[in-house]
Amino acid sequence: MQRTSACPNRTRSAMPVSGIGEYRLGTSASWDEYVERLEMYWEANKLSKDVEKRAVLLSSCGEET
């Protein structure tokens, strides 16, 4: 993260690359296809820690899932 010159005590993080959308049971996309999209999202956003990956996965589940 970079420190901003206007506010040296604040850090600025990069904006995430795109989004993956919710996974919903019973949709045309299979779970395997969704996992592939998740893995591409993690790579594009340079997420390597399991805690980061888990947060993205859990925040991407639809209410019924």
Q: pTM to 2 decimals?
A: 0.64
Q: What percent of the chain has pLDDT over 70?
A: 69
Domain assignment present for 3 = no
pLDDT, tens digit (0-9, with 9 covering 90-100), for 31-54: 899 999 999 999 999 999 999 999
d(CA 3, CA 25): 42
Residue 12 confidence class, pLDDT cut points 50, 70, 90: very low
Domain count for the chain: 1
Check residues 64 and 55 and name the one with the higher pLDDT: 55
16 pLDDT exceeds 50? yes
Domain assignment present for 10 = no
Residue indicated by tokens 């996309």:
29
Domain assignment present for 47 = yes
Contact (CB, 8 A) for 4 and 13: no
Domain assignment present for 6 = no
